[in-house]
Structure 1
Amino acid sequence: MTAVTDIREPGFAEELGAAAADFLRGEGFPDRLRDDAPDICGLHRQVADLGLLGVLVPEEGGGIGGGAAELVAVFRAVGRGLLPLPLAESVAAASVLADDGYADGTTMLALAGVMTGDPWAGSTLDGDRITGRAGLVNGAGVADRLLVPAWDTSGARVLALVAAGQARFTPVAATDRTYRPAEAEFTGAPATTVARGAEAERAWRQVLTVGRIAAAAELTGIANRLVELAVAYVGERKQFGRPVGSFQAVKHLAADAATTAYAMDSLCRRLAGGELTGLDAEHWADSAKAFCSRAALQVAETALQMFGGIGFTAEHDLALYFPRILTLGDRWGDPAALEAALGARALADARGRS
Structure 2
Amino acid sequence: MHIDAADLTAQLIRCPSVTPEEGGALVLLEELLCEAGFVTHRVDRNGTPNLFARKGPKGAPRTFGFNGHTDVVPPGDAASWTHPPFSGAEIDGMIWGRGATDMKSGVAAFTAAAIDMAESLPEDGALILTITGDEEGPSRDGTVALLDWMRAEGERMSVCIVGEPSNPNVMGEMMKIGRRGSINFKISVKGVQGHAAYPHLVKNPLHALVRYLGELTAEPLDQGTAHFEPSGLQVTSIDCGNKTTNVVPERATALLNIRFNDAHSSESLVADLTARAKRIETETGVEFALESDCSGESFVTEPGPFVDLVRAVVSRETGVTPVLSTGGGTSDARFVQNHCPVLEFGLVGRFMHEVDERVPAEQVRQLARIYRAVLDGYFA
Query: What is the TM-score with the length of structure 1 in the denominator?
Result: 0.28
Query: What is the TM-score with the length of structure 2 in the denominator?
Result: 0.27
Pick the structure with more helix per residue.
1
Greater RCO, 1 or 2 (C-alpha within 8 Å, sep 6+): 2
